[in-house]
Structure 1
Amino acid sequence: MSQSPFPIPSPDLYTEEEISKLVHEFYDKARKDPSLGPIFEEHVIDWDAHFVQMINFWSAQLRGTSRFRGAPMPKHIALPELSAKLFERWLALFKQTTHELGNTALEHHANTIATFIANRLWQGYQMSHYPDREPAALHTG
């Protein structure tokens, strides 16, 4: 049996309100970002539905709920002209947001997951768009 790369979800350490705040504050930053904002604005049709989906995702990851249904990889692979810098910027804004929330357990747990996800999505994107190249890792420092 393989060990999960993530900390175990804990409903005792994070509230649904904190998760909702994380999602809303992160996307507030991302939508205003000069490099990420235009991508989100072009591809997210229904922000209310997107917020629900992202809150469900992070609730599943952080609290162990089972509300999330979705497949993020195909949606990200379908986006044109993504780059390592965009994934790194997404991760930097995410980490800034988790830090500002002031819950160090949430910050560590969410950042671990976000770093893994950013790398996985970038690897998948590269394998789909550049099949003859060796996928490069993100600089997630």
Structure 2
Amino acid sequence: MISSGAPVFDVSDRADIDRLVRRFYERALTDPTLAPVFEVLAIVGLDEHLLVVGDFWEQILFRTTRYEGNFLPVHRALHAHHGLTPARFERWLELWVGTVDELFAGVHAERAKSKAEAMARSLERGVRRPFASG
């Protein structure tokens, strides 16, 4: 029997999430559309950032409570400096979905893709809304 090379395992634990996040960031950091936005991580600290992103996705996929944050203000700041254009959101989503599909298949993998799409759409709207006063 010849293997198609397609993934046969679903995202099942934090190690899988870390693998997914790290592979995605490897791609994003070298992508011509996304690299200018992601290069700030060299200043902030990539490893620390990846832990936070892992916490976020662990909460999304497995309903843990490790992630404590609000990613909208960070993305608004990125938008102010780099212009988070619709093309950049589309490319981010394309890379994320491609990375998920490369590594995993199953219920959690599908959830990672659908949640990413919803998040991209929400962030795209959110970075353009005026700040609430008060």
Q: Is the 8 A contact 1:56 1:68 kept in 2?
A: yes
Task: Provide the rounded CA distance (Å) in 1 between the counterparts of 2:27 and 2:74.
Answer: 21
Deviation of 1:48 (Å): 1.0
- Could you say which residue in structure 2 is the equivalent of 1:38? 36
Length-normalised TM-score, structure 2: 0.82
Deviation of 1:35 (Å): 1.2
Task: Provide the rounded CA distance (Å) in 2 between the counterparts of 1:50 and 1:13.
Answer: 20
Q: Is the 8 A contact 1:19 1:55 kept in 2?
A: yes
Q: Is the 8 A contact 1:59 1:65 kept in 2?
A: yes
Aligned-pair identity in percent equals 34
Q: Is structure 2 residue 92 aligned with structure 1 residue 94?
A: no
Task: Provide the rounded CA distance (Å) in 1 between the counterparts of 2:11 and 2:129.
Answer: 36
What whole-Å deviation, never above 9, does each CA across 1:51-83 have from its counterpart, x for those lacking one? 110010000110111100111001101122220
Q: Is the 8 A contact 1:77 1:128 kept in 2?
A: no
Higher relative contact order (CA 8 A, sep 6+): 2
- Could you say which residue in structure 1 is the equivalent of 2:63? 64
**Runs of 5+ consecutive residues of structure 2 not aligned to the other structure:** 1-9
Deviation of 1:43 (Å): 4.9
- Could you say which residue in structure 2 is the equivalent of 1:110? 112
The 1:68–1:90 alpha-carbon spacing in structure 2 relative to 1, beyond 3 Å, is same
Partner residue of 1:121 out of 123, 126, 131: 123
Question: Which amino acid in 2 is paired with 1:63?
Answer: F
Length-normalised TM-score, structure 1: 0.78
Q: Is the 8 A contact 1:95 1:107 kept in 2?
A: no
Compare 34-43 and 112-121 and name the one that shifted more: 34-43
Q: Is the 8 A contact 2:52 2:67 kept in 1?
A: yes
Question: Which amino acid in 1 is paired with 2:12?
Answer: Y
Deviation of 1:13 (Å): 6.1
Task: Provide the rounded CA distance (Å) in 2 between the counterparts of 1:53 and 1:86.
Answer: 21
